Amino acid sequence: MIDGVLLKGYGGFYYVYAEGRVWECSLRGRFRVKDQDFIPGDRVNILPEQEDKATIESVITRRNVLSRPTIANVDQAILVFAMTSPKPDLNLLDRLLIQVTDAEIEPIIVFTKLDKYKEESGTAPKEGLKITDVYRNIGYTVFEVSSKTGQGIADIAVRLTNKISVLAGPSGAGKSSLFNALSPGIQLKTGEISNKSKRGRHTTRHVELMVCSGGLVADTPGFSSLFLPEMKRAELADCFPEFAIRRNQCRFNSCLHDKEPNCAIKAALETGEISPIRYDHYLIFLKEVIEAERKY
């Protein structure tokens, strides 16, 4: 038997990447009896039968599972947002960062359309670059790239090797264009931006892993909204690295960094050490988490 990674399931067959090629696999009868579910990213053992056909003999326990997109054993999430057209939805970015952090998956933030941003901004203050610096200074890995000119693409390609990655972000942010730049031989359909709404049109309809830059990458359906993972109100600050490192400096151990006195987070906000945008998002998320707590 040989080890492989499930790329996708279609029409009762499962396509597994192993030993540098794709195998069309069927299931052993015992899996049908157990009603075992298989999702992209599952690590499986397959038994070759003829040419590129094999059977799935066993499944290795998953390290993690994302529910949207549904994919297993993810090493890192490439969070893709455009610097312009459309402007980055930072509320959504922070939501995605919380989901990824909660799943113990490494986030990598990629801001696309750098060439278009430079054309539009001209000699104006580089507000977009200030935003990227906010996340970089927090400690996140951040790239600014142009799929059109190729700037920054090689740096991202290095990060994909021998890993399972997901591309996530809003429609129109350039996920498919980024994938195409990273893997020229495999072209994904790219969408246009609606002139009326300045929002992207969905171009990806299902989830599957594809070979890209020496790793496996899933180009996921665009997100328009995202619920926060289930957590207690005191746990939310742990998903904000710049908050977490200051929590022990607050007067109260139970400080929620909202209305409490002698709060280290609010003090850092006043001195400019914490982004006002990030803090505003934290307060919005805190209300959502508290409301969710009341429901369960």
Q: Determine if residue 176 is labeled as part of a ligand binding site.
A: yes
pTM here is 0.85
Q: Is there a single domain that holds both residue 122 and residue 200?
A: yes
Residue type, 292: A
Is 129 in the same domain as 180? yes
- Provide the residue range defining the domain that includes 19: 2-59
Higher pLDDT, 55 or 37: 55
pLDDT in tens, 133-166: 999 999 999 999 999 999 999 999 999 999 999 9
- Determine the Cα–Cα distance for residues 158 and 218; give it in Å rounded to an integer: 16
Same-domain status, 214 and 123: yes
| Band of residue 279 on the pLDDT scale cut at 50, 70, 90 | very high
Lowest mean pLDDT among 42-46, 276-280, 292-296: 292-296
Q: Residue 232, annotated ligand binder?
A: no
Q: Do 77 and 169 share a domain, yes or no? A: yes
The string of DSSP codes covering 232-295 is -GGGGGGGSHHHHTTGGGSSSTT--SSS-SS-HHHHHHHTTSS-HHHHHHHHHHHHHHHHHHHH
Answer yes or no: are the C-beta atoms of 239 and 228 closer than 8 Å: no
Comparison of pLDDT for 202 and 66, the residue scoring more: 66
Q: Is 112 annotated as a binding residue?
A: yes
Q: Output the CA torsion 10→12→14→15 (10° steps).
A: -50
Whether residue 179 sits in one domain with residue 111 = yes
φ, ψ for residue 270 (rounded to 5)?
A: -65, -30
Residues 74, 168, single domain; the answer is: yes
Q: Three-state SS for 92?
A: helix
Q: Is the pLDDT of residue 197 over 90?
A: no
174 is in an annotated binding site: yes
Over range 272-279, report the average pLDDT: 96
Residue 115 in marked binding region: yes
- Express each pLDDT in 102-135 by its tens digit: 888 999 999 999 999 988 876 555 666 688 999 9
Kindly state whether residue 143 falls inside one of the protein's structural domains. Answer: yes
Ligand-binding annotation for 169, yes or no, is yes
Can you read off the two tokens belonging to residue 102? 């909660």
Tell me if 113 is assigned to a ligand binding site: yes
- 7 and 75 inside one domain: no
What average pLDDT does the structure give for the chain?
A: 86
CATH number at residue 112: 3.40.50.300
In this structure, the answer to whether residues 172 and 88 fall within a common structural domain is: yes
226 domain-assigned? no
Q: Tokens standing for 18?
A: 């192993």
